Structure 1
Amino acid sequence: MTSLPVPVRDVCVRVKMNIGACGPYAHIVAHFEPPGPDGGLELHNAVPEAQLPTEYLPALRAGLQEGLGGVAATVLLTDGTHHPVDSSEYGYKIAGQQAARAALIGAGLLPPEEADTLRWATWPGARDRQD
């Protein structure tokens, strides 16, 4: 299994899909680190329940695993918010996928051009997109 080789901090994802109606909303900020001795995906949450209800963590974890595509990493959630009406598991799954892909780009495991596919993700060192 490949491991994340370097830390990628402050990956921010804010999913907002409001096309004619309420849509999924999710917001997370995460630090990605090389994995611990057990490998795989370790997810740690430092965000208070009132800001990011734990009911969304399984969907977020599933999105992270999908986005990492088998790359082992430790992920620490440092910030996040939810919307009482618009947040959904679907939104947090998208947030996890985009955060993980951003971390792979930031760590050099994916080419920088892949950033163009990440609609809602930002991270230090990301190139500016021409939307």
Structure 2
Amino acid sequence: MTGLPVSVPGVSARVVMQTGCGPYAYIVVDFEPPGADGESEFLHTAPQERLPHEFLPAVFEGIREGLGGVAARVRVTDGGFHEVDSRDDGYRLAGLYAGRAALAGAGLGPPPENQGRQITVSWPGKPRPTPQA
């Protein structure tokens, strides 16, 4: 298993599905190279009132998938939820996109594409869209 070579702080992912009832999810994550043991580590400092901790297992599952076997120290620092529309599947999807964005920010993979207004992701160094002539 390879490790993330550089830190990628402040990755954010938001899932806003406008059909029916959600899902809605928002997370902010810092990614760092793994510790001396080379294994992934998953931590959180997000306040319960901003991101109910019941959603953290889904976030971490999505991040693992998004990292695709690359080890990293992961810290969820903030988030948001909706009392009706937030569900595990939304947070899993947000985690997946955050993991892919971390790889792109570290130069290890292609950048994930926003899915219209439904899924948006941002990370340091994210390329800006080119204006249409």
Gaps of 5+ in 2: none
**Structure 1 unaligned spans of 5+:** none
Deviation at 1:129, TM superposition (A): 3.7
CA RMSD of aligned residues (A): 1.5
- Taking the aligned partners of 2:7 and 2:67, their CA distance within structure 1 comes to 14
Q: TM-score, normalised by structure 2?
A: 0.89
CA deviation map 1:43-97 (0-9, x unaligned): 1111111111111011111101111110000111111111110000000000110
3-state SS in 2 of match to 1:99: helix
Q: What TM-score do the two structures reach when normalised by structure 1? A: 0.90
Question: CA–CA distance in 2 between the matches of 1:42 and 1:129?
Answer: 33
Aligned length: 127
Stretches of 4+ aligned residues off by more than 2 angstroms: 37-41, 114-119
Whether contact under 8 Å (1:12, 1:99) holds in the other structure is: yes
Residues 26 and 94 in structure 2, CA contact (< 8 A), matched pair in contact too: yes
The equivalent of 1:7 in structure 2 is 7
Q: What is the deviation of 1:117? A: 5.7
Query: Structure 1 or 2: larger helix share?
Result: 1
Corresponding residue SS for 2:5: coil
Question: Map of 1:51-130 to 2, 5 A cutoff?
Answer: 51-111=50-110, 114-116=111-113, 119-129=119-129
Q: Percent identity?
A: 52
